[in-house]
Structure 1
Amino acid sequence: MKHGLKLASVALVVALAGCGTTATPPAAPGGGGGTGGAAEPAAGATVTYAPEEVVKPKDGKNLRIGVAFPVLDQFLQNVADGMQARAKEAGVTLTIVSAQEKTDVQLGQVENFISQGVDGIIILPQDTDAAQPMTDAVTAAKIPLVYVNRRPATLDPSVPYVGSDSKVAGQLQMEALAEQLGNKGNIAILQGDPSQEAAQMRTQGCKDVIAQHPEMKVIREQAGNWYRDKGLSITENWIQSGDQIDAICSNNDEMALGALEALRAAGKLDAVKVGGVDATKDALASMKNGQLDITVFQDAKGQGAGGVDSVIKKYNGDEVASFVNVPYELVTPENMAEYANK
């Protein structure tokens, strides 16, 4: 969820290319897969993402789907790539725009999609606490709507969310760090944007694990808003405070990489364990170099592909589960090679 390295473009019309990633959610028990006549998962249900056949418009129409991103950084660009590839397989056209992290701009972009009469809309909300006006506008226009990657704070079960359980990312990350510390020590938390569900729940997952260990405690917590430079400056301040920090639980890889820069400059790389989330290329390179201790793989391309499948299914009139869960996976130096090309 997250995410610091912005691309220069504010809006990007995608000429679809590349190979596809299959991501149709599996059917509920007793149901079918989503491309035939069998039963679909009911709204309100949760299903786990699994590869399956591409979903195509039943009427053969070349659908126009608008996609509203908050920003196109290193991670979210991978989500967009997954959407591009899946849309090419399905024979539909995407228009992807970036709000450059401005909530009002994103609302205006969604309203533009509505006025253009697109056949479906996918949203990755900038502010998960302020997504309701977009939901209301799209549903009032009777346009199929799917949220991806960032779950709105309030969302009707009839509107699908394709993404991951953010609390699990924090739990996986902190459990691994705790094991490396022998379940004791002082923990600092680098939080993403506090207005976003991913930052809130990843932080909570981290704290839930810490609470299970009497000899561990949170001594520092600060929002770096997903940015590497913020992770760097915050960690520099923590180091200058003189407090002993044994591990940094970062909500994403970008802030974790910034923290590592500060620790390296202070000669403390070996003294502090650092964990991130996303398993970006930069993070895996840092892990390979013996710096980053832990990260958590978030299947960006799977989320993107699942979002495209889900909005096409909504267009087809098929039921889509309320939550299509794309599971997180722990990445360590021992298994990092498996994630190099994902």
Structure 2
Amino acid sequence: MNKALLLVVVLATMVITAACANEGGSAEGSEGKNDEAVKLGFQVYGLRGEYATNLTNAMEAKAEELGVELVVMDGNYDVSTAISQLTNLETQQVDAIIVNPIDEEALNNTVNQIVENGTPVLGVNAFLTAEKLTTFVGSPDVIAGEEETKQMVEALNGKGNVVMLEGPIGQTGQVGRRKGIDNILAENPDIKLLAEQTANWSRAEALSTMENWIQTYGDDIDGVIAQNDEMAIGAINALNAQGMNDIPVVGVDGVKDALQAVKEGTMIATVFQNAQEQGETVIELAIKAAKGEEIDQKYEIPFELVTKENVDEYLE
């Protein structure tokens, strides 16, 4: 084959190859990465509670379904650990980071810097006030606090003494639910708040705190408002140990033990928070953010009140 003919063959091959690539499209698509190439990071404040575990499981299942890699880091309820893990995920060059923060402000500088460096950061379940946060997926905690407190007011016929178990002070779940609780208590001045203390979303801490309150206040306690179900169950265990089975207790999240307690009547209500929908939604949005697609700044998933009348729907 002479040189002229060889040149014609090479040029023709290049043209055909380019045409095929244009026709079939890039393996990564018009936005850059395809789903299989996306690597996501998830920094969760702690995995001792059922709700955080349910949320993480939903995220992992969705990531597997969509064929993306998800690196999960458990912050063990410690701010400094969370900051270190966020920095670690950035160093791993993940394409987007999802954070479930222990505090609404403590991670702001770290998150803002990561976003400035080019990695999108999405909040899930617990809000973060970082101004550069890419988006947030969660539920309106003020409404949850209002709903559970309305149930308590109704159970006590508008009069009585209550104690309140709070989440980690400064986390948006605690801040929002406390505001909602206070809103309803302000409208019902005959409901008195005897005591309030954080139990850090923990069943064990709530049990210990409730035991102390029983020793201090005894029969003066007419009801228990817990800002999540883990703490509500801890309080119920302490009350049952003292034969105080008729004290109404409310919580938030709709975890399995709480739903069963509502069915059995040991808990008057819970406010269901949809971990599966939050988890699936934030994974889908993280993939879009990683690929440079535009997303909204907030995605809100409603809470749902669960009482004995409708609890079977949630136990199915």
TM over 0.5: yes
Cα distance between partner residues in 2 of 1:58 and 1:79: 28
Give the alignment partner of residue 144 of structure 1, picking from 93, 97, 120.
120
**1:123–1:147 CA contact under 8 A, matched in 2:** yes
**1:157–1:322 CA contact under 8 A, matched in 2:** no
Cα distance between partner residues in 1 of 2:266 and 2:32: 50
Query: Which residue of structure 2 lines up, in the alignment, with residue 80 of structure 1?
Result: 56
Deviation at 1:158, TM superposition (A): 5.5
Aligned length, in residue pairs? 284
Instruction: Give 1:219-234 correspondences, 5 Å limit.
Output: 219-234=194-209
Cα distance between partner residues in 2 of 1:308 and 1:58: 18
One-letter code of the match for 1:287? V
Give the alignment partner of residue 280 of structure 1, picking from 236, 255, 275.
255
Deviation at 1:61, TM superposition (A): 4.3
Counterpart secondary structure, 1:214: coil
Deviation at 1:314, TM superposition (A): 1.6
Query: Which residue of structure 2 lines up, in the alignment, with residue 11 of structure 1?
Result: none
**2:245–2:266 CA contact under 8 A, matched in 1:** yes
Counterpart secondary structure, 1:96: strand
Give the alignment partner of residue 135 of structure 1, picking from 107, 111, 115.
111
Instruction: Give 1:1-342 correspondences, 5 Å limit.
Output: 59-62=33-36, 63-73=38-48, 74-152=50-128, 154-156=129-131, 159-242=134-217, 244-270=220-246, 272-341=247-316
One-letter code of the match for 2:60? Q
One-letter code of the match for 1:84? E
**1:190–1:251 CA contact under 8 A, matched in 2:** yes
Q: In terms of Rg, which structure is larger?
A: 2
Q: Deviations over 1:58-84 (max 9, x none)?
A: 742420001111112311111111112
Cα distance change on mapping 1:214 and 1:71 into 2, 3 Å: closer
Structure 1: any 5+ residue segments left out of the alignment?
1-56
Deviation at 1:85, TM superposition (A): 2.1
RMSD of the TM alignment (CA)? 1.8
One-letter code of the match for 1:277? V
**2:102–2:168 CA contact under 8 A, matched in 1:** no
One-letter code of the match for 1:81? N
One-letter code of the match for 1:142? G
Q: Give percent identity, aligned residues only.
A: 35
**1:188–1:245 CA contact under 8 A, matched in 2:** yes
Counterpart secondary structure, 1:76: helix
Structure 1 segments, 4+ long, off by >4 Å, are none
**TM-score, length-normalised on structure 1?**
0.79
Q: Deviations over 1:110-166 (max 9, x none)?
A: 1111112111111111222201122123212211210101101x2326621101111
Counterpart secondary structure, 1:262: helix
Q: Which of structures 1 and 2 has the larger relative contact order (alpha carbons within 8 angstroms, sep 6+)?
A: 1
**TM-score, length-normalised on structure 2?**
0.85
Q: Deviations over 1:285-318 (max 9, x none)?
A: 2223321111110101111111111112222333
**2:111–2:133 CA contact under 8 A, matched in 1:** no
One-letter code of the match for 1:250? A
